[in-house]
Amino acid sequence: MRSENSNKFDGQKLGWFIFESAMAVLYLVFAVILIFPSLFHIQFAAQFEKIMLPLGIVLGIYGIFRVFRAIKKMR
C-alpha cells in the first residue's frame, strides 16, 4: 500500500530538484547568450565567434534535456 506521504518530497530530494532546475535554467540562459549575444550587448573574441552558435545549440539541447529530466523526477 502507498502511504499518504509517498508523493511528497523530503528535504534531500527537494534540494536536488531545486539544484537540477537551477542548472537547467543556467544552461538555457548561457545558450541564449551564446546564440544571441547582440541582444545583451556582449562582444566575444573573434576566435570564439566561430563556435558560439554550435556551443549555444548544444547547451540549449542539454538544458532542455535537464528540464525534462527534472520534471520526470518530480512526478
pLDDT tens, residue by residue, 33-63: 999 988 888 888 888 888 999 999 999 999 9
pLDDT tens, residue by residue, 4-15: 555 566 888 888
What's phi and psi for 72, nearest 5 deg? -65, -40
User: Domain map of the chain by residue range?
Assistant: 26-75
Locate 37 and state its grid cell. Answer: 549575444
The Cα 72–Cα 69 span in angstroms is 5
Distance (Å) of CA 66 to CA 9, 27, 70: 19, 9, 6
The Cα 74–Cα 7 span in angstroms is 9
